[in-house]
Structure 1
Amino acid sequence: MKSPTHTLSATDVHAAADRIRPYARRTPLLDLEIDDRRVLLKLEHLQRGGSFKLRGALNAILSGALDDHLVAASGGNHGLAVATAASLLGVSATVYVPTTVPAAKARRIEAAGARLVRHGATFAEAASAASDAAARPGHRFLHPYDDPDVIAGQGTVAAEILADAPDVDAIAVAVGGGGLAAGTALAFDGEGRVVAVEPEHCRCLYDALAAGEPVDSAVDSVAASATGASRVGEIPFDVLSGHPDRADHSDRPGHSAHDVSSVLVSDEQILRARDRLWEECRIAVEPAAAVAFAAWLAGQVPGDRPCLIVCGANADWVAG
């Protein structure tokens, strides 16, 4: 595995964009006025497989041997991304998920052609079993966020945003294990702020930045199937902690508008934001995809031209 910060850069993100272009969709930007404020939405829930995760999976697979049997562990979206990418590239895959995986995500993983294995009550337990299975000859484990090729692939979301709207000065992203936030920071390359948003009770990045190192955190949120990593990835942490770490430390030396802010939103805010995306935009998404919007509605995303990544739609949900 690469050492993260001195080898990962915007160059890796642009190389990933070239690599995955034949397979990944270039998702649109939606320019809105809500509550008398302008905001851009990057509609990544329209990606193949229903989330941004396809980008990282494609880049990681295309950066290795295509004759390997792929093994993944996931709360749902990464597993579906690996299953989708494997189908596109003609390779086989097994996806380990916790027994708590939402039925919609499990069904779609199997429909994409991957073998589904339910194991353990948490992502960590599923990941341990997947890692053991991947130790067999001819098998390759694809980590959902603590992998440099996955991170570079996720950064292509932000690269597209900046290509289509170069005046964007802040990008807000939901955080699970930190891969999307880290990739976004690499793509931004010091030119704007990344706002890394987590549910109050799924806060592995927030807690790691407070502790100065990755630590174990509790997981309990309506968005946990997508943001439920109990520990931020080592590589994402290394990338993200290279910037001033917390919005509430804005008076510390070296803090500027070109950095990473870590903020929290409640489950109630997330569900209200999800419902507003449907009521005002007819965008139907899973709770995690409304996390960045919730932070923006609460005034936690700065900038004159902010963009929010609407990251996934793998839920069976309709407005009541």
Structure 2
Amino acid sequence: MIIDHLDVLAAAQRIAGQVRPVALAPMDPGALGAATGVFALELMQHTGSFKARGALNFVGAHLDAGTLPEAGIVIASGGNAGMANAWAARAHGVLATVFVPESAPAVKVARLRTLGAEVHQVGSEYAEALDAAQRFAAETGALASHAYDNPLIAAGAGTLIEEIVAARIDVDTVVVAVGGGGLFSGVAAAAHPHGIRVVAVEPRGAQALHAALAAGEVVDVPVASVAADSLGARRTSEMALSLAQSDGVRSVLVTDEAIVAARRHLWDERRLVVEHGAAAALAALESRAYVPEPGETVAVVLCGANTDPSDLVR
């Protein structure tokens, strides 16, 4: 299923007053040459990432439709989607079960349990956790949510664009990191009617969307990146691929070195602690994988902060 702007507007109405409106911070003058930019600080969202938007829309829509079973919801996640779903479920008195890879950062696993989720660590990659979650749903009747490949999840994520446009009507381009494609799908669906371009940024070692665009179809890719805990999907969604093939979308790749440098820059210059996946968006600009035109206004989405900051302190 492909979402459109109406789906995003419906999600915005459903979650209104329950999420934190995105804060925008101007980038330093000259940071983008003759262009200007703002950071969209979605790392300050509930549960520390944009995922809260989609999770709340997912749970709310199923409650409205009377389709939430007593077994609650189940999701596989690298951590952020699981936290968001656990938070949204708890807010509505719904049970949440989360499957994460054994490699999931301890800070994310601990937070999941604090949010009241039943947590299972399975396998070394997201795909293995997903298989286990699907088996759990079949055995228990729990409603399967998804980290990115669900229209309600993606539409909820897209509400970010409506808030950016309301605050800065002059934004021409949104730069966003891509894992499986949920945030990208929502952003692309919401951005197009506003005439806003979207730059989809992936690590070279986790390029599910970029590879799908090259192949003309969804394909499996190997995953080996410093940002794999949040951008490590082995394949993108059909929805993300379809939206990426539309006008106004550009797909770029960045190295792990550029991601690490961007994350360090955000800490040294802004005292912002972000996860590597969030830093990928800024890395596209700092490494010149994407170069804005003179006069262009760019919004860089810093999408999450669920990370161990100990390696930033020196």
Range into which the TM-score falls when normalised by the shorter chain: over 0.9
Distance in 1 (alpha carbons) for counterparts of 2:140 and 2:122: 22
Letter in 1 for 2:257: E
Distance in 2 (alpha carbons) for counterparts of 1:99 and 1:40: 36
TM normalised by structure 1 equals 0.91
Q: Offset of 1:89 from its aligned partner?
A: 1.4
Alignment of structure 1 residues 163-178 onto 2, 5 Å: 163-178=166-181
2:232 equivalent to 1:228: yes
Q: Offset of 1:298 from its aligned partner?
A: 2.3
Which segment drifts farther, 26-35 or 108-117?
26-35
Which segment drifts farther, 62-71 or 109-118?
62-71
CA contact (8 A) 1:172 1:301 kept: no
1:31 maps to which residue? Answer: 26
1:159 maps to which residue? Answer: 162
1:203 maps to which residue? Answer: 207
Letter in 2 for 1:189: H
Letter in 2 for 1:210: A
Q: Offset of 1:35 from its aligned partner?
A: 4.5
Q: Offset of 1:63 from its aligned partner?
A: 1.1
What SS does the aligned partner of 2:174 have?
A: strand
Alignment of structure 1 residues 294-309 onto 2, 5 Å: 294-299=283-288, 300-303=290-293, 304-309=296-301
2:61 maps to which residue? Answer: 63
2:114 maps to which residue? Answer: 111
Q: Offset of 1:31 from its aligned partner?
A: 0.9
2:304 maps to which residue? Answer: 312
1:42 maps to which residue? Answer: 40
Please, which runs of 5 or more residues in structure 2 have no aligned partner? Answer: none
Structure 1 residues 212-260: Cα deviation after superposition (integer angstroms, max 9, x where no partner) = 00101110111000000010012221222233xxxxxxxxxxxxxxx11
Q: Offset of 1:128 from its aligned partner?
A: 0.6
1:99–1:36 Cα change, 3 Å = closer
Letter in 2 for 1:312: G
2:93 equivalent to 1:90: yes
Structure 1 residues 128-178: Cα deviation after superposition (integer angstroms, max 9, x where no partner) = 110111124541000111111111001011121111111100000000001
1:273 maps to which residue? Answer: 262
2:281 maps to which residue? Answer: 292
Distance in 2 (alpha carbons) for counterparts of 1:276 and 1:35: 15
CA contact (8 A) 1:206 1:263 kept: yes
What SS does the aligned partner of 2:218 have?
A: coil
Please, which runs of 5 or more residues in structure 1 have no aligned partner? Answer: 244-258
2:196 maps to which residue? Answer: 192
Q: Percent identity between the aligned chains?
A: 44
Structure 1 residues 70-121: Cα deviation after superposition (integer angstroms, max 9, x where no partner) = 1000011101111111111111100000111111111111111000001111
Q: Offset of 1:36 from its aligned partner?
A: 4.1
1:203–1:92 Cα change, 3 Å = same
Structure 1 residues 169-210: Cα deviation after superposition (integer angstroms, max 9, x where no partner) = 000000000111111111112502100000011000000000
TM normalised by structure 2 equals 0.92
Letter in 1 for 2:303: C
Distance in 1 (alpha carbons) for counterparts of 2:256 and 2:245: 26
Of 193, 215, 218, which residue of structure 2 is paired with 1:214? 218
CA contact (8 A) 2:122 2:132 kept: yes
